[in-house]
A and B are shown apart, each in its own frame.
Chain A
């Protein structure tokens, strides 16, 4: 029989009931807390008010600098009450800039850890493409810092940690959760909406916590420490994780494709039901990969193709109608695809380890999305994609130029896995090219609008637009390429894209090895002013 210490229970201070600032202060030593880009700096999201949504003065993220038991730390605390903790342009820029400044201090000899309080539904769909990009930049910044100082993720509860930000959770040095916490790439309601109630009954709370819950994630090795919702215990767990410092690379979850393979092996997918085999051989990813590479494509997995020219490796995710994972048969990034991409990238990095002129990696992107499925979430698709993101980042920082060329759809988690970690991103100027955080009808449902309303707003709110020409103005497009036939490219089309890829590779070789060039691009100067304000304001406040 367990004896309950009722006095301890009665005196417990809840962590998750506090707002973002209270939670940050709970973790930090009481003296010398500095809030950066706070409410009175009034750097709001510029995209909400034009949509009739009331903004918050700090855009729902508190950045607080201080110490935890004497160790220099910056805390990024997401306010779950504001827009479901969704990552927008400003809130995302605040997190990535805080991580970058901590990284700069760490490189200058003052190791500064980061603590991310990840209470978030993922990308804020009202700022769609800028939110998606913000998540990619956060992931890159987590990985930059993580090699020099620990990045501790905390998921306490209420909202959970879903969407793109769950990938950032999968990249953390250590992850601390409560039993109330949930972590998953696709939330239960999104899966039900995309795949039906048979795939995931989002009203079944027991099922949700059995898949995404903090206890389950800890048992499965997808989180490190399970603590009750108690401020003192959470603080102790965070302090211990910060004090433990930087572990060996093998001890990092996102550096273990082998552990991912083992989890996939136990995922026990349903035997494949008969599926239509149409629309497989004319996948744009398959066609463009075969056209661009001189070498014949080989299968890393049936759904992941690789082609190795002397100085370039091309990678594409393609449909596999006989995949045992029935939610990943149409070219989505599922467990197998995330693993296969990581393995292929690791292989390229290993082969060139001793060579100075490292081969380029070109991601040929045509992805309907990530796989929306219960099996995927149970095995931890967020962690699988974190493994892929880590592999791309490792290749990029070790000197491989990474270029993405979007030839078809590039949606949400799929694009985060395969494409958004590239230094240079090219896209075909074609109506079949769609780059977005979520497809139109789902985005409309989740933001409680009709598709017509969404389309009307998208005409004036740039990051909401589904038109690739609008996306290209956001400052992350390095070339919009005109072709005559994106489905069946002519020799001239292939030549145009081929030349653009080689120019992009040359630019990537001399450019920065992180994603900082995006915020300096002409598009960002025009359309990401708020992100740039965050960068300069936070840097000023950080040194003072």
Chain B
């Protein structure tokens, strides 16, 4: 198991707490909580069952937050999801967190 922490610049805060996904084989759970202080930061904590993919995590997350600068406290509990599944879950979370806003 590996624990990783990242910080990304953000310009938007989530309207609500969001929980998606399951810590199931090939999948992950995402919890997005409203920010503690500054909404300009997305604080991402990853726990993954697979060691040795730190770079892949960084790049996957960088790409996502470049498109979607959504702040708050992100917790990702991963059980071997591929980057595509990770991105899908992140998008699903962002969609739910900003729903109802135009």
B33: which A residues are within 8 A, CB to CB? 40
Is B96 in the interface zone, CB < 8 Å from A? no
Chain A proximity mask over B27-64: 1 for CB below 8 Å, otherwise 0? 10101010000000000000111000000000000000
Contact: B25 with A81, CB < 8 Å? Answer: yes
Contact: B24 with A53, CB < 8 Å? Answer: no
Give Cα A19 to B22, complex, Å.
Answer: 8
Is A54 in the interface zone, CB < 8 Å from B? yes
Chain A proximity mask over B1-27: 1 for CB below 8 Å, otherwise 0? 100000000000000010100111101
Is B98 in the interface zone, CB < 8 Å from A? no
B1: which A residues are within 8 A, CB to CB? 49, 52-54
Assuming the contacts A54-B49, A54-B78, asked whether A39 and B19 have C-beta atoms less than 8 A apart, the reply is yes
Give Cα A265 to B25, complex, Å.
Answer: 43
A82: which B residues are within 8 A, CB to CB? 22-24
Residue from A39, A53, A60 in contact with B31 in the complex, judged by beta carbons closer than 8 Å: A39
Is A489 in the interface zone, CB < 8 Å from B? no
The chain A residue sitting closest to B1, CB to CB, is A52
Q: Whole-angstrom distance from the CB of B19 to the nearest CB of chain A?
A: 4
Q: Whole-angstrom distance from the CB of A47 to the nearest CB of chain B?
A: 13
Give Cα A66 to B11, complex, Å.
Answer: 38
Is B79 in the interface zone, CB < 8 Å from A? yes
Q: Is the interface of A mostly helix, strand, loop or mixed?
A: loop
A89: which B residues are within 8 A, CB to CB? none
Assuming the contacts A49-B1, A81-B22, A81-B23, asked whether A56 and B29 have C-beta atoms less than 8 A apart, the reply is yes
Q: How many residues of B contact A (CB 8 A)?
A: 18
Give Cα A39 to B48, complex, Å.
Answer: 18
Q: Whole-angstrom distance from the CB of A22 to the nearest CB of chain B?
A: 11
Contact: B24 with A81, CB < 8 Å? Answer: yes
Q: Whole-angstrom distance from the CB of B35 to the nearest CB of chain A?
A: 14
Q: Whole-angstrom distance from the CB of A81 to the nearest CB of chain B?
A: 3
The chain A residue sitting closest to B33, CB to CB, is A40
Contact: B17 with A40, CB < 8 Å? Answer: yes
Interface residues of A in 243-273 (CB under 8 A from B): none
Q: Whole-angstrom distance from the CB of A447 to the nearest CB of chain B?
A: 14
B19: which A residues are within 8 A, CB to CB? 38-40, 57
Q: How many residues of A contact B (CB 8 A)?
A: 18
Interface residues of A in 39-88 (CB under 8 A from B): 39-40, 42, 49, 52-57, 60, 79, 81-83
Give Cα A42 to B27, complex, Å.
Answer: 19
Q: Whole-angstrom distance from the CB of B33 to the nearest CB of chain A?
A: 7
Give Cα A427 to B14, complex, Å.
Answer: 54
Give Cα A278 to B6, complex, Å.
Answer: 63
Contact: B17 with A54, CB < 8 Å? Answer: no
Give Cα A90 to B75, complex, Å.
Answer: 20
Contact: B27 with A54, CB < 8 Å? Answer: no
Assuming the contacts A40-B33, A49-B1, A81-B27, asked whether A56 and B22 have C-beta atoms less than 8 A apart, the reply is yes
Q: Whole-angstrom distance from the CB of A304 to the nearest CB of chain B?
A: 42
Give Cα A52 to B48, complex, Å.
Answer: 9
Q: Whole-angstrom distance from the CB of A33 to the nearest CB of chain B?
A: 14
Contact: A56 with B23, CB < 8 Å? Answer: yes
Q: Whole-angstrom distance from the CB of B15 to the nearest CB of chain A?
A: 15
Contact: A54 with B22, CB < 8 Å? Answer: no
Task: Output the residue of B23, B25, B78 with the most chain A CB within 10 A.
Answer: B23
A–B Cβ pairs within 8 angstroms, 24 of them: A20-B22, A39-B19, A39-B31, A40-B31, A42-B31, A49-B47, A52-B1, A54-B23, A54-B48, A54-B49, A54-B79, A55-B23, A55-B47, A55-B77, A56-B22, A56-B23, A56-B77, A57-B19, A57-B29, A57-B75, A57-B77, A79-B22, A81-B23, A81-B24
Known A52-B49, A57-B29, A60-B23; further 4 A-B contacts with Cβ < 8 A? A39-B31, A40-B17, A54-B23, A55-B77
